Amino acid sequence: MLEIRDISFSYTDHPVIKDVSFNVDKGQHITIIGESGCGKSTLLKLIYGLYDLDAGNIFFDDNQILGPKYNLIPGADFIKYLAQDFGLMPFTTVAENVGSFLSNVYSDKKQERVSELLDMVEMTEFANVKTRYLSGGQQQRVALAKVLALEPKVLLLDEPFSQVDAFRTNNLRRKIFQYLKDNEITCIVATHDASDVLSFSDQTIVMRHGEIIAHKTPHEVYNYPQNKYVASLFGDINEIPENFLKSSGDKNKLVLIYPHQLKVTTQSLLAVTVRKSYFKGNHYLIEAQSEFGILYFEHGTSLQKNMLTYLIH
């Protein structure tokens, strides 16, 4: 359905996107994750047609997506793109913003659609409030409703929940992504939030310095990270010499281990000294000193500072 073929792009002499290629099937959800400045947002803009490519091609159902050199108004009409600045009209109401893409010919149907979308993003009570008076998180929820109004074939979301209240984010994610699946809307999300990656995507693309360094299922990317950079996108990560984990291990081989994969035991090769305990709600994250540096592990209770502890994997 959507095909990105060997595309490259630069704002100046320095390339921002380098030989990127991947395909997206109809209704598939792709998450792009990576550090700030890795090219995630630029890639979405290129797919939408906001910039002209330096090299390569982008096709949707065999129709080429072209940039502003070829279009008076940049942006493909079958794609909706939600940027980080939301693109709302500040002096009109929430309902008017959401319904701005809808025809006025059938006013009853328009109102019904606007009401449905506002209910989805939990903004019904603000329908008649001008968007300039809303918080950043509220504006983001309105913007989500607006891009869904005409049910695009492809939806591009750039950090779509970054400003939404933490207590509301999980429920909103579930509603939005289930709606997209039910309506077979292809979705590509650029994010730094691991929750968007692990729970809601079919495929995960990891970017660094404008290049794709991994393209796998969320399960594969998380459980079998190819390097520390990939693993660190999902939280704290330890690099532990293999010989500290097993007697026949290689001291020059580093093993990537998440904090939850380390457990306290009575005796092992991996001895550490507790430095700090951080309360995380249902567990504590323990910072400890080892022979090879600082590492982190999870424990059910706080541990006393300077306590000698043994860990196993």
The CATH number, out of the four listed (3.40.228.10, 2.40.420.20, 3.40.1440.60, 3.40.50.300), of the domain defined by the range 2-228: 3.40.50.300
Q: What pLDDT was estimated at residue 196?
A: 84
Element (H, E) at 297: strand 293-299
Q: What pLDDT was estimated at residue 106?
A: 83
What's the pLDDT tens digit per position in 235-291? 999 999 999 999 899 999 999 999 999 999 999 999 999 999 999 999 999 999 999
Q: What pLDDT was estimated at residue 95?
A: 95
% of the chain surpassing 70 pLDDT:
100
When the pLDDT of each residue in the chain is averaged and rounded to a whole number, the result is 94
2-228 shares its CATH topology with 236-312:
no
DSSP state of 93: B
Question: What is the residue extent of each domain of the chain?
Answer: 2-228, 236-312
Q: Tell me, letter by letter, the H, E, C secondary structure of 75-86.
A: CCCCEEEECCCC
Q: What pLDDT was estimated at residue 129?
A: 96
Q: What pLDDT was estimated at residue 103?
A: 86
Work out the pLDDT band at 62, boundaries 50, 70, 90.
confident
Inter-residue contact 110 to 82 (CB < 8 Å): no
Work out the pLDDT band at 194, boundaries 50, 70, 90.
confident
Query: Counting beta carbons within 10 angstroms of the beta carbon of residue 25, is it exposed (0 to 12), middle (13 to 18) or buried (19 or more)?
Result: exposed
Work out the pLDDT band at 76, boundaries 50, 70, 90.
confident
Q: Would you say domain 236-312 falls under CATH 2.40.50?
A: yes
Residues in the chain: 313
| 309 pLDDT higher than 90 | yes
What's the pLDDT tens digit per position in 123-153? 999 999 999 999 999 999 999 999 999 889 9
Q: What pLDDT was estimated at residue 72?
A: 76
Query: Counting beta carbons within 10 angstroms of the beta carbon of residue 48, is it exposed (0 to 12), middle (13 to 18) or buried (19 or more)?
Result: buried
Q: What pLDDT was estimated at residue 115?
A: 96
| 85 pLDDT higher than 90 | no
What's the pLDDT tens digit per position in 223-232? 999 999 999 9
Q: Is the pTM of this model over 0.85?
A: yes
